[in-house]
Amino acid sequence: MRVEARESSVRFLFVAGKPLGEPVAWGGPIVMNTREELDIAFAEHKNGTFIKHSE
């Protein structure tokens, strides 16, 4: 692979990986595997429990 830029301020990020082969349910900024998981995530986001911190 070859990448060229005409400007010196260009940033480039290349990410690669093997496909997981799992279903994708996408809703704006949240991505889950099923619509049900997506609904739960949005409910958790609404009530402030979406981000879980480990202790």
Q: If DSSP states are collapsed to H, E and C, what string results for the chain?
A: CCCCCCCCCCCCCCCCCCCCCCCCEEECCEEECCHHHHHHHHHHHHHCCCCCCCC
Rounded to two decimals, the pTM is 0.60
Gap between the Cα atoms of 13 and 2, Å rounded:
13
Mean pLDDT of 1-14: 80
CA distances (Å), origin 55, targets 19, 46, 47, 52: 32, 23, 21, 10
Indicate if the pLDDT at residue 13 is higher than 90: no
Instruction: State pLDDT tens for residues 27-46.
Output: 988 999 999 999 999 999 99
Mean pLDDT of 11-37: 92
Indicate if the pLDDT at residue 1 is higher than 90: no
